Amino acid sequence: MASKSRTHKHATPAMPPSLRALTFSGAAHKPLTQAMLLQAYASLDGFRRGYGSHELLENLSRQLLVAEELCHLRNDAHGWTDIEAARAATAQIATAVKISGAWLMNDFAYAQLCNALGIFDSQLSVASFGDIAKAEARGARALMREEQGAVVSIAAV
């Protein structure tokens, strides 16, 4: 007579039930996306008021990377060009601080960043949690590649 195994293997869920519930809840979408936008706009405002810093630039760059990846996920070429222009503006700020030591942003860079954050706002209003998570993961991988490339170029010098 065949005996049945009395031990049950329980599959561990990929995420806790409370987080899984939030993922499928529309109520959690708006606070999450508004927090992302608030971080980006607060960073931009810090620069505009003359309180720029490495941390603010890093935060702004990270949010722009998420916006860029959302463009890739949705095949939005128009938004992508505006996001790229804003990313170039953040690169110019980083270059300028190395030269002058001041965290400054000109009016043109400010306008480009405002435009990009407007696009980011539109993207977040229609993006699913899954799309946002994918974009953040892809953005994090891109940052890691950029940092590895910087380390390699420094080591080559």
Query: How far is it, in rounded angstroms, from Cα 82 to Cα 145?
Result: 22
Query: What was the pLDDT predicted at 6?
Result: 60
Cβ atoms of residues 39 and 109 within 8 Å? no
Predicted local confidence at residue 15, as pLDDT: 57
CA distance 42 to 113: 12
pLDDT reported for residue 21: 57
In three-state form (DSSP H/G/I as H, E/B as E, the rest C), the secondary structure along 83-107 is HHHHHHHHHHHHHHHHHHCCCCCCH
CA distance 4 to 1: 10
> Strand, helix or coil at 54?
helix
What's the pTM value of the predicted model, to 2 decimals? 0.74
- For the chain (length 157 residues), average pLDDT per consecutive 10? 57 56 65 91 91 92 93 84 94 90 89 96 90 88 73 51
Each domain of the chain, given as residue ranges in start order, spans 29-156
CB 69 within 8 A of CB 139: yes
